Amino acid sequence: MEEKIIQPINPEEDLTQGLDRGKTLQDLCDKVNKYWEDHVLPIVEKTSQELKKVLQFILDKVDEKGKFSDEDLRFVNSKIDELGQSMVQAFFNLPKDDFDEADSFMAYELRAHRVQNKLLESFQDINVVIKQYNNTGVWNGPLSVDMDLPLLMEELKLRIDDFENFYPKDLGEMLDSVVFVMSKLLERGNIKTSLIIKTIREGEAQPIYVEEMKGILQESLRELVQNAIYHMAEGGKLDLSVEEIGDKVSVIVADTGRGISPENIDHIFDKGFTTRKTGTGRGLFFVKWSIEKILGGKIEVESEEGKGTKFLITLPKYKSPE
């Protein structure tokens, strides 16, 4: 039987690094789940209610056929920043007496970032949408803030098998899915997208499989696309490509945004580093950790201020056991 490129994580050895010896993975799951239920879910519920109020303020203005003033924009942005910060506090500033560094990262890596994104992504480009409305009279922004909290809590629960099973996934299909999910943000931001898939095999296009685990690669790609959208506030082009190179697969996510300054580029993968008001400094840190520590790949970045940024991901190609 051919050796697999990536071995499944041993939860006793890998996932409990940095934890006290007496702890078990189940103990960790129970503790994280209780913290989510007791402390985080109420913040998510409050945030969703407050976002509904902000959205209602916006939609009332649209119904009145009125234009948004600079003061209106400042109000909307200040409320979204405030709510984003409250979620950051709940998700990532876990009490040190109850959570050590390994626990904190586990809770983050599992769910926190994607929940924050789910709540706030509709408002990510609100300035662009409002300005477009002022110019055209057509509202092309969010119409609702929908959070099914009981279902969300169930989805957020940490389970032991979350870390044990790898499975093959078609990388082209995965990227296509990410673009589809982000299509409204891309359209609103006036961002054109291209997806190119290259294989070394002749004939019809074939799927390119890599190993995935509980959606962390897809979430990483989504994070990179969302990051590109953020840096193309005035519109631009997003190029995605997948290519087979021997027993490896290359993925490129390139944008024509404002780029990264030389003093920041060496720190973008550092935990806690961010240039955004409501940033956590964990998005790209999570991407690097997932790709390199879990999936056995590598991620690199090239950028030039004023011209754009390119992320290059190299992953082992999936090989099924013979």
Each domain of the chain, given as residue ranges in start order, spans 25-160, 166-316
| pLDDT band (50, 70, 90) for residue 132 | confident
For 25-54, write each residue's pLDDT tens digit: 677 778 778 888 888 888 888 888 998 999
> What count of residues does the chain have?
322
User: Which tokens hold the place of 231?
Assistant: 């840096």
- Check: CATH 3.10.110.10 for 166-316? no
For 149-183, write each residue's pLDDT tens digit: 777 777 767 666 665 567 788 888 899 989 988 88
Residue 122, pLDDT above cutoff 80: no
The average pLDDT across 140-144 equals 83
Q: What are the backbone angles phi and psi of residue 36, rounded to the nearest 5°?
A: -60, -45
Residue 291, pLDDT above cutoff 60: yes
Q: What are the backbone angles phi and psi of residue 169, rounded to the nearest 5°?
A: -145, 135
Residue 114, pLDDT above cutoff 70: no
3 state SS of 26: helix
pTM summary value: 0.65
Predicted local confidence at residue 14, as pLDDT: 43
**Contacts (Cβ under 8 Å, ≥6 apart) of 205:** 172, 197, 199
pLDDT over 70 percentage in the chain: 78
Residue 280, pLDDT above cutoff 70: no
Predicted local confidence at residue 271, as pLDDT: 77
For 227-266, write each residue's pLDDT tens digit: 898 889 888 999 999 988 888 999 999 999 999 999 999 9
Query: Do 93 and 282 meet the contact criterion of CB atoms below 8 Å apart?
Result: no
Predicted local confidence at residue 20, as pLDDT: 43
The average pLDDT across 58-87 equals 87
Predicted local confidence at residue 104, as pLDDT: 62
Query: Do 113 and 282 meet the contact criterion of CB atoms below 8 Å apart?
Result: yes
